[in-house]
A and B are shown apart, each in its own frame.
Chain A
Amino acid sequence: MRDIAKRLEIRVVRKELTIRNKLGLHARAAAKIVQTSNQFQSRISIIKNGREADAKSMLDILTLSCPRGTRIELRAEGKDAAEALAALAVLFDNKFGEE
């Protein structure tokens, strides 16, 4: 019973970070975020100043408009939330392979 409850438990994970790659969240970076996010079931969002973009929608991310230096919050909700966030954090840390 407890296992099932645990498995069903919806988890929310958050992480704050600053965009460090040169171009900010432009087309190529946004495409990589979508690609990575799509590997997880969790609902994942990128939040900037209270505005939320779906991390599985490239156009949402683009139109959030995040140049370098923007502070954002990543938020994932679902059973693989922690894994999703970890995977995305690596992407941001590596500056989307730009440099």
Chain B
Amino acid sequence: MKLKVDNIAFRYDEEPLFKGLSFDVEAGEFVSILGPSGCGKSTVLNLLAGILTPEGGSMLVDGAPIKGMSSHFAYMPQNDLLFPWKTILQNVCLHGRLHGTEKAAQARARELFGLFGLAGYEDAWPSDLSGGMRQRAAFLRTALCDADILLLDEPFGALDVISRGDMQDWLVSMKQHLGRTCLLVTHDIDEAIFLSDRILVLGGRPADIRSEYRVVEAHRTRDWLYSQGELRHRLHDSIRGLEARPC
């Protein structure tokens, strides 16, 4: 589904964080938001997820305005937030549990355990899993939400470099299967290039989309990523340039 953020205003304190923030995400597109720390990247997702409420402006999904928590979005925070008292299967079926469709969710989840690299861990406790596996479980929980748009808030931010790379490879291989609109917030330039169709750089105060880059369509491999030096350079400059301003 197509997402349109139109003229959003928001503030935590006196100084406005957003004063007319606008951007679009096309249906099925994978868009990343890059930007320096504290520029409001996560706030964008929190506004969309309904955790925060904007002062003004509108958010539209396929042209229809949304207010508060919306079933169009599945939000995935940086922390995996698996419930330690529930098994992995129970954890990933949280959405079904909340809406009385746990049985159906479990049947669907069991089919997907292999794809998410979790086969055999249905009845394990979250503390039995490695960081990467926990994150994949959180991903599966998000994917089972029946939402059309996934909001990913630095989903691999808490992982070590190696697991992080593995997770990125895995997500690239999963993109086709997910087939959903994704909005990713990250501070990792390589991650943004590797995963996205389009990259938005957010910055300034009040923050706005300062630049936008389309990533060429290509078979995404590590070698391909290493050849994207120029794009990497431009993104880096763009973020750095914004960082020089008070943000």
Q: Do A and B come from one complex?
A: no
List residues of chain B with CB under 8 Å of any chain A CB: none
